[in-house]
């Protein structure tokens, strides 16, 4: 059985399902319900849906998320606009398996521990969104990359682990949507800083980018959007996902 997890990430924006570059310039890429159905056909093992507008709107689209959960044949993880443990309870009731926190890690600092205590650490993922600031120093950002926190990513990863996160989503803002690869050295540092599972996200343009990071860091989980949404040099929108044999050839080496 393949140990490496390769997870498509779908972004919800004002227009519907979108793709971004460095957390900016959202481009409409289709209907999210249809995308979930297509990933079903491709036998994806798990799926992440992030609503990048939910925090600003202060509203979780429960009806849509319930529809997605009912359509998905695989475990569904959701992030966006979560501020209370009761909202997490509702998401779990409608079929979500895990939740992702980002802005709430700063605006509601006790929420991560509350969720872990009430539902178990395996239910909650902390999203660590990071990039270099104007002085070239690594820093964590919140609110869809708009707010600098002044915290180094390594320190923040350790803090999230101590507060009860079951996993970390390590999201590289600087390479998001570029399909040019990960910031390997920083990903290595973050993976080594904690003992809980980590998921690399932001920059994958091929399975080889994931495989190279796996070799250098020991990471076993990779989330990506563009590589599973776009096809060809002109980035035509085409939902795609490698078959099981291709995944085994790539990672079981």
CATH number of the CATH domain containing 38: 3.20.20.70
Range of the domain at 97: 5-251
Instruction: Give the pLDDT confidence score for residue 15 in this predicted structure.
Output: 84
Helix (H) or strand (E) holding 40: helix 32-41
For the chain, the domain total comes to 1
Is residue 68 within 8 Å of residue 51, measured between CB atoms? Answer: no
DSSP assignment of 145-173, as one string? TTEE----HHHHHHHHHHHT-SEEEEEET
Please report the beta strands in the chain, taking only residues with DSSP state E, as ranges in sequence order.
5-13, 16-21, 24-30, 47-51, 76-79, 98-101, 124-132, 138-142, 147-148, 167-172, 198-201, 221-224, 230-231, 236-237
Output Rg (C-alpha) for the chain, integer angstroms.
Answer: 17
Which position among 31, 45, 51, 129 bears the catalytic label? 129
How far is Cα 131 from Cα 182, in angstroms, rounded to an integer? Answer: 11
| Residue 51 is among the residues annotated as catalytic for this protein | no
Is residue 101 within 8 Å of residue 124, measured between CB atoms? Answer: yes
Check the CA dihedral 45-21-156-61 and report its sign.
negative
- Within 13 Å, how many C-alpha atoms sit on residue 19's CB side? 23
Please, which residues have CB within 8 angstroms of residue 207's CB and are 6 or more apart in sequence?
6, 227, 242, 246, 247, 250, 251
How far is Cα 172 from Cα 226, in angstroms, rounded to an integer? Answer: 14
Instruction: Give the pLDDT confidence score for residue 2 in this predicted structure.
Output: 63
How far is Cα 138 from Cα 147, in angstroms, rounded to an integer? Answer: 14
Would you give per-residue pLDDT tens digits along the chain (253 residues)?
Answer: 468 999 999 999 988 999 999 999 999 999 999 999 999 999 999 999 999 999 999 999 999 999 999 999 999 999 999 999 999 999 999 999 999 999 999 999 999 999 999 999 999 999 999 999 999 999 999 999 999 999 999 999 999 999 999 999 999 999 999 999 999 999 999 999 999 999 999 999 999 999 999 998 889 999 999 999 998 887 888 999 999 999 999 997 5
Closest by CA to 106, choosing from 148, 51, 72, is 148
Q: Is the pTM of this model over 0.75?
A: yes
């Amino acid at each position: 059985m393949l140990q490496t997890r390769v997870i498509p990430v779908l972004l919800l924006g004002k227009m519907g399902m979108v793709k971004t570059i460095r957390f900016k310039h959202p481009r409409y890429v289709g209907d999210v319900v249809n995308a979930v159905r297509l990933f079903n056909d491709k036998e994806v093992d798990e799926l992440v849906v992030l609503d990048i507008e939910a925090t600003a709107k202060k509203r979780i689209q429960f009806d849509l998320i319930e529809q997605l959960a009912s359509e998905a044949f695989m475990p569904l993880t959701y992030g966006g606009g979560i501020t209370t443990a009761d909202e997490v309870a509702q998401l779990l009731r409608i079929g979500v398996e895990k939740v992702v926190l980002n802005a709430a890690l700063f605006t509601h600092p006790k929420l991560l521990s509350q969720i872990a205590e009430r539902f178990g650490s395996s239910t909650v993922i902390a999203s660590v969104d990071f990039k270099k600031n104007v002085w070239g120093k690594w820093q964590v950002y919140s609110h869809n990359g708009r707010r600098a926190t002044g915290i180094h990513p390594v320190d923040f990863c350790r803090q999230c682990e101590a507060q009860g996160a079951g996993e970390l989503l390590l999201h590289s803002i600087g390479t998001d949507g570029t399909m040019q690869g990960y910031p390997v050295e920083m990903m290595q540092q973050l993976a080594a800083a904690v003992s809980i599972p980590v998921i690399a996200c932001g920059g994958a343009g091929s399975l080889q980018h994931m495989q190279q990071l796996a070799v250098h860091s020991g990471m076993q989980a990779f989330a990506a959007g563009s590589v599973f949404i776009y096809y060809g040099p002109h980035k035509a929108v085409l939902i795609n996902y490698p078959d099981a044999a291709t995944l085994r050839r790539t990672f079981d080496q």
